[in-house]
Amino acid sequence: MFFSNVWSTLEKYYPFFLEGVQNTLIIAVFTVLFGTILGVLMATARLSSFRPLKWLATAYIEFFRGTPLMVQLMFIFYGLPMIGVTFPDVPFIENFQRFAAGIVALSLNSCAYVAEVIRSGIQAVDIGQMEAARSLGFTKGQSMTMVILPQAIRNILPALGNEFVTVIKESSIVSVIGIADLMYRTNGVKAKNYRTLECLFIAAVIYFILTFVSGRLISWSERRLNRGRK
Contact set with other proteins (CB under 8 A): 126, 128-129, 131-139, 142, 146-147, 150-151, 229-230
Q: Which is nearer to other proteins, 86 or 142 (CB)?
A: 142
Closest approach of Cβ 83 to other proteins, in Å? 45
Closest approach of Cβ 123 to other proteins, in Å? 16
Q: Which is nearer to other proteins, 194 or 230 (CB)?
A: 230
Closest approach of Cβ 70 to other proteins, in Å? 41
Cα–Cα distance for residue pair 74/80, rounded to 1 Å: 9
Closest approach of Cβ 106 to other proteins, in Å? 33
Cα–Cα distance for residue pair 72/105, rounded to 1 Å: 6
Cα–Cα distance for residue pair 24/221, rounded to 1 Å: 22
Q: Which is nearer to other proteins, 146 or 217 (CB)?
A: 146
Cα–Cα distance for residue pair 221/160, rounded to 1 Å: 12
Cα–Cα distance for residue pair 225/119, rounded to 1 Å: 21
Q: Which is nearer to other proteins, 56 or 130 (CB)?
A: 130
Cβ atoms of 57 and 119 within 8 Å: the answer is: no
Q: Cα(first)–Cα(last) distance of the chain, in Å?
A: 54
